[in-house]
Structure 1
């Protein structure tokens, strides 16, 4: 039985918006008070986007939503909210699957199902607030030239959008509280439990240099990805695009 909806969060459902992230950023710019724990969820996004300016397909029936976190003086670094969101999305999706073994977090902000992208996360900061946007393929997956994608409907699961929204609001609130009370080390550990197997071969395209190939060695205490290079040295990756390689790929 699914957990009961939480009274601690509110879901605001809108029929259409440019993007849920963009709308919350605009509200912050207008000085509106936004309550932590509330989510803006759209039936349609006409200007949705992902990392690096990529478009995020409308995907009617999919989950497209955003929430706001107010950064306090004692909080861990704001960018590590990507790890918080990743664990929360993994937990919410895992509750729906008869076997969650195929779910894997891919640093910094994707959730994979059997190697195909199921969900993505986008963080955008405005002053002392971070807007956390999440897109999950519930009923249909966008066709992307550079990666495989999957929806829960493709594996025979019919998940009502609002049910998923409530589950994610609950798991995100849990993980955010842990991030604040237990510290970043706990969030890193929880992400690592859900990430790739240590030794998985990766290609990393850092923002300012040529691509690197190596083995995944986990995350460092600050949440950076650790890549073991061919010479045996471990390199901390703080930003970049990551691709998991199959054994037969170079």
Structure 2
């Protein structure tokens, strides 16, 4: 996949959209070392100071895919399978459903997926040389463990994500589900999940993993399992969002 590198943009998702609007065919990646207006889910601010990785893939939206939401989980698995070998036995990488990356329980990466017409924009931010402060969760930067450049990481993520995407397009998420669950943060532990955007309503239970459809499952004290397809999760033992 072709990668276009920038020193600075407002947002790699926004820049990718401008390129498509200008006639560029989807099937490319945009990378920046700094974002001035990075975004996360629910329009939350995503900080990308100079030296961190901001990366957006622009691809054609696959037609007639009822499993399209599992693209988020596929992206999480692809990122995990780049970061864990990179960090080796020096740190543990886990996937916080659906696709945040945690290193030793601290957030190092987030993903924002947007659809505009027939194009999907998959934005990935990775704390490479610095980590944000004044946020309501613990953070981590890769520089605390490993030395890698933005260009090297962008190329590694793009290559692995593209290969995992090809598999997902052919066979869906089901064949990837066991690998995903093996690296799922909080599996077998007591979790709570928000039921609304404002994080005012919550459900609790023991996480039993995710389904091939991408739903996270929580079991109550009697063993009844409820599936959820959206929400933010916390581990109950800390009640601290990550």
Fold-level similarity (TM above 0.5): yes
Deviations 1:33-62 (A, max 9, x none): 3342x2100122110011111111122111
Alignment partner for residue 132 of structure 1, among 117, 122, 127?
A: 122
Alignment partner for residue 184 of structure 2, among 178, 189, 195?
A: 195
Alignment partner for residue 205 of structure 2, among 181, 204, 214?
A: 214
Structure 1 partner of 2:16: 24
Structure 1 unaligned regions, length at least 5: 1-8
Instruction: Say whether the 8 Å CA contact 1:111–1:120 is kept in structure 2.
Output: yes
Q: Give the Cα–Cα distance (whole angstroms) in 2 for the partners of residues 32 and 189 of structure 1.
A: 39
Structure 2 partner of 1:71: 61
4+ runs of 1 displaced by more than 6 Å? none
Instruction: Say whether the 8 Å CA contact 2:77–2:99 is kept in structure 1.
Output: no
Task: Give the C-alpha shift of residue 32 in structure 1.
Answer: 2.2
Task: Give the C-alpha shift of residue 76 in structure 1.
Answer: 5.4
State the SS of the aligned residue for 1:97: helix
Deviations 1:163-197 (A, max 9, x none): 00000001101110110122220132332122135
The normalised TM-score by structure 1 is 0.87
Task: Give the C-alpha shift of residue 158 in structure 1.
Answer: 1.3
The normalised TM-score by structure 2 is 0.90
Matched, 1:54 2:44: yes
Deviations 1:128-180 (A, max 9, x none): 2210000111111111432100001123x111110000000011011101101
Aligned-residue RMSD, C-alpha: 2.1
> Number of residues paired by the alignment?
238
Q: Give the Cα–Cα distance (whole angstroms) in 1 for the partners of residues 6 and 239 of structure 2.
A: 43
State the SS of the aligned residue for 1:87: helix
Instruction: Say whether the 8 Å CA contact 2:101–2:107 is kept in structure 1.
Output: yes
